[in-house]
Structure 1
Amino acid sequence: MAERYTSFEPGGRRWLWQRLTAAFLVVVLAFHFFLLHFVNHADEVTFALSQARMEQLTYFSLMILFLVTATFHGVNGVYNALVNQGLSGTRKTAVKAILGLASVLLIVQGVRTALEWAGGVPI
């Protein structure tokens, strides 16, 4: 039988978080698709209506959680794919630092954008 290789440690938390974030993203994407393609059709979606949604604390919080979850899921997946391809040593450390910094910058800019879109701090 073929040996199964993965960079995830057996019983490790990153493996679990990768699966949990995937499940969360599937649910949020389904919600997004339903809301913006069945409740509101594409030709009805305007910036003003999107801004009104972002002013609701529940929607705003869900979008921030979506941003953080998607960022973690994507960066963790890329990092582990590179490790599975043999990345190690100094390059592994450098890639981890670069991906970590990119994640922080993405989340900070995403939160700044969401706050501006919501008209400041949501109610």
Structure 2
Amino acid sequence: MLPYRGSNRSGGALAWYFQRISGGIIVLLFLAHFWVLHFTIGGEITYLKVAARLASPFWKTLDMIFLVLALYHGFNGIYSIVVDYIDSDLWRNTIFGLLAFLGLILFILGATSILPFAPKV
């Protein structure tokens, strides 16, 4: 494993703060998600129960916020490691482009799972 050399770049404070803020919000959303699915719904989790929840604009909005924050948090964390350990601007920019592309693909997959969801009985 490469030793940490620190970053010679200035800035990044906003990304650092938002990484912490997004992590805290993700924990709260996860706890709410876990509470609703395992304690308030009661009984077995079925397709119809999930469909009823996802038909609500409130839950769609909450799930989309969860998706966006989780993607940002994960990919920003990976990119922070890249910035710390990779000196080449070419490699850093290439990896950033790949991460952005993968993040966009995952966002599209997640959004198409959440937004158009309608119960199929």
Q: TM-score, normalised by structure 2?
A: 0.83
Q: Which residue of 2 aligns with 1:30?
A: 31
Q: Which runs of 4+ in 1 moved over 3 A?
A: 4-11
Deviation at 1:85, TM superposition (A): 2.3
In the superposition, relative to structure 1, how do residues 7 and 60 fare at CA in structure 2: closer, same or farther (>3 Å)?
A: farther
Q: Which residue of 2 aligns with 1:112?
A: 112
Describe the superposition over 1:43-102 as per-residue Cα deviations: whole angstroms up to 9, x where unpaired.
511111101101111111000010011000000001111222235321100000000111
Where 1:44 maps in the other structure, the secondary structure is coil
Q: Provide the aligned length of Structure 1 versus Structure 2.
A: 115
Instruction: Give the distance between the partners of 2:9 and 2:67, measured in 1 at CA.
Output: 23
- 1:20 alignment partner in structure 2: 21
Q: Secondary structure in 1 aligned to 2:49?
A: helix
Matches within 5 A, 1:61-76: 61-76=61-76
Partner secondary structure for residue 65 of structure 1? helix
Structure 1 residue runs of 5 or longer lacking an equivalent are none
Query: Which residue number corresponds to residue 96 of structure 1?
Result: 96
**Which amino acid is the alignment partner of residue 28 of structure 1?**
L
State whether residues 8 and 80 of structure 1, in contact with CA within 8 Å, keep that contact through their aligned partners in structure 2. no
- Give the alignment's TM-score, normalised by structure 1: 0.82
Cα-Cα RMSD: 2.2
Kept after mapping to 1: 8 A contact 2:86/2:92: no
- Structure 2 CA distance, aligned partners of 1:33 and 1:47? 16
Deviation at 1:104, TM superposition (A): 1.0
Shift in CA distance, 117/104, structure 1 to aligned 2, threshold 3 Å: same
Conservation of the 8 A alpha-carbon contact between 1:75 and 1:99: yes
Q: Which residue of 2 aligns with 1:84?
A: 84
User: Aligned residues: percent identity?
Assistant: 28
